[in-house]
């Protein structure tokens, strides 16, 4: 059991990681980029079911600021932008795979809780 | 790249798992229960740094409703309640460990992004 003297959890890499990946959208965006590779904005928006364009822009900017996603604009008409995972982003694969594996193992529980 | 005909992601166990574990608190609560085992409410509140009692009650109820946490009240004066992970909750250990491992590997990135 923890004692009051224990180091605050906020200083730990676990909690800092949760701050970076907060919310369900970032995991879903990383999952999509891992699964489908580099994607244009429109493709990402379609793949991350339920997300709005505004929210996707916001989440991608945050992921970019943390070095998890890179944005590559092309000088086409109309302009196109592609998003990829960085090496740091790719290193999140074990987290995404663990969530996926748990979801598959608990399909029945998840379906019952709908 | 995804096509418009692809199965909506909302139906997949990955997204359903994110819905169950939404927000940073649930991961932090499960992390604490994995690390310290069965805990009284007050100990959990102290260990999950930054959480309010009201939010902890809400999150524990949600985790209990999804079969991840069990609540055991004792007829003491004043009443005490202990919280533990169920077998299903314990099976989230690989997810928590993967997040922890990523955080440890990316300490520098996380510290820079503060």
In a domain? residue B59: yes
Q: Strand, helix or coil at A73? A: strand
Domains held by chain B: number: 1
Predicted confidence at residue A114, as pLDDT, reads 53
Measured between CA atoms, how close is A9 to chain B, in angstroms? 6
Helix axes A93-105, B93-105, angle to 10 degrees: 170
Query: What pLDDT is stored for residue A2 in this prediction?
Result: 47
| In-domain check, residue B1 | no
Kindly tell me the burial class for residue A84, based on how many C-beta atoms sit within 10 Å of its own C-beta (0-12, 13-18, 19 or more): middle
Residue A34 binned pLDDT confidence (cut-offs 50, 70, 90): very high
Residue A106 is assigned to a structural domain of this protein: yes
* Smallest Cα distance from A66 to chain B, Å: 6
Is residue B21, in this structure, part of any structural domain at all?
A: yes
- Residues of chain A contacting B93 with CB distance shorter than 8 Å: none
CA terminus-to-terminus distance, chain B = 33
Give the pLDDT score at A92. 97
pLDDT at residue A75 in the model: 92
Residue A86 lies in a domain: yes
Q: What angle do CA A97, B3, A63 make, to 5 degrees?
A: 50
A72: Cβ–Cβ under 8 A, 6 or more apart, which residues? A81, A82, A83, A84
- pLDDT attached to residue A3: 45
Closest CA to A32 of A88, A81, A80, A89: A89
Does the distance separating the beta carbons of B17 and A22 come in below 8 Å? no
Q: What is the signed CA dihedral for B58, B54, B28, B59, rounded to 10 degrees?
A: 0
User: Hey, of A25, A45, A50, A106, which one would you mutate to test binding to chain B, going by the most B CBs within 10 A of its CB?
Assistant: A106
Establish if A84 belongs to a structural domain: yes
Going by the DSSP 8-state scheme, the letter that residue A11 receives in this structure is G
State both tokens at A73: 């604009």
Tens digit of each residue's pLDDT (9 = 90 or more) over A49-108 = 999 999 999 999 999 999 999 999 999 998 899 999 999 999 999 999 999 999 999 987
- Sort out which chain B residues have CB atoms less than 8 A from A23's CB and list them: 22-23
Residue B38 has pLDDT above 70, yes or no: yes
Nearest residue on chain A to B65, judged by CA atoms?
Answer: A113
Residue B2 maps to a domain: no
Give me the interface pTM, i.e. the ipTM: 0.85
- The whole-angstrom separation of Cα B15 and Cα A113 is 13
CATH number for the domain spanning B62: value is 1.10.10.10
Distance CA A46, CA B96 (A): 29
Q: Tell me what the pLDDT averaged over chain B comes to.
A: 88
Contacts of A65 in chain B (CB under 8 A): 113
Its domain, for residue A33, covers 10-112
Q: Answer whether residue B36 is part of any domain.
A: yes
Report whether A103 contacts A110 (CB < 8 A).
Answer: yes
């Amino acid at each position: 059991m923890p004692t009051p003297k224990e180091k605050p959890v906020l200083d730990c890499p676990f909690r800092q990681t949760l701050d970076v990946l907060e919310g369900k959208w970032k995991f879903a965006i990383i999952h999509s980029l891992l699964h489908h590779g580099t994607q244009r904005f429109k493709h990402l928006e379609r793949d991350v079911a339920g997300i709005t364009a505004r929210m996707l822009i916001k989440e991608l900017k945050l992921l970019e600021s943390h070095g998890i996603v890179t944005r590559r604009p092309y000088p086409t008409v109309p302009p196109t932008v592609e998003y990829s995972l960085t090496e740091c982003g790719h290193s999140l694969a074990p987290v995404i795979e663990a969530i996926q594996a748990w979801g598959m193992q608990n399909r029945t529980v998840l379906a019952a809780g709908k």
